[in-house]
Structure 1
Amino acid sequence: MMKKMRRWVKQWMTERMELPADVMMNLPRITMVGHLHIYIENHRGVLRFSRDEMRLRLDDGQLLIRGSGFVIKTILPEEILLEGKIISVQYVFENETGRG
């Protein structure tokens, strides 16, 4: 219940004060350059990495990136730059991951 209330307050503040949603609500910011690079901010850690798949933990789910020839070019606590041929990017909500 408290988690829902906090989320509602953050969403209300974001809308009323015109603040960036990715900052206020810890949403991921995803920047792609064609199908060759993807830069993700506000992730909570790497769950899985291989040459053809990466799973990142988010506050309310996971981000699944599929492709081929993946190489992590930069990795920081909340930022990552992935290079390779990106085929798909999928947001998986908590209840779809079996965690909620």
Structure 2
Amino acid sequence: MTRIGRSLKGWTGGLLDLPQDLLSDMPRITLIGNREMIIENHRGVLHFSPGQLKLALAKGSLEIVGEDLVVTSILGKELTLTGIICEIRYKESGESR
């Protein structure tokens, strides 16, 4: 994105008071206890098993580790996951680990 584009995005975000996740295509994660998770703004499922879910993001990936994980709904860019959630790992594109 050009410098002017970034400036315009920041200016309109401040003026319109828009949430940061909408402006920069970041994921929005809602965690209810350790039993339910809602992830918005993902780019697709990379891997799923009852012990792990890995999602593609605009700038990296999100990995959820747990037990008895079940994807209860996928609606567009929103996914709901239930089960026992033990770990959440956010990896940006440039990270080696």
Do both share a fold (TM > 0.5)? yes
Instruction: Say if 1:8 and 1:67 are closer, same or farther in 2 by CA, change over 3 A.
Output: farther
Deviates more, 1:14-23 or 1:67-76: 14-23
Q: Distance in 2 between matches of 1:15 and 1:44?
A: 26
For 2:13, what is the secondary structure of its paired residue? Answer: helix
Are residues 1:18 and 2:11 paired? no
User: Do the aligned partners of 1:44 and 1:77 also contact (CA within 8 Å) in 2?
Assistant: no
Q: Distance in 1 between matches of 2:7 and 2:96?
A: 23
Q: Distance in 2 between matches of 1:45 and 1:58?
A: 8
Unpaired segments ≥5 residues, structure 1 = none
- Correspondence for 1:63: 62
Q: Normalising by structure 2, what TM-score?
A: 0.85
User: Do the aligned partners of 1:62 and 1:93 also contact (CA within 8 Å) in 2?
Assistant: yes
AA aligned to 1:69 is D
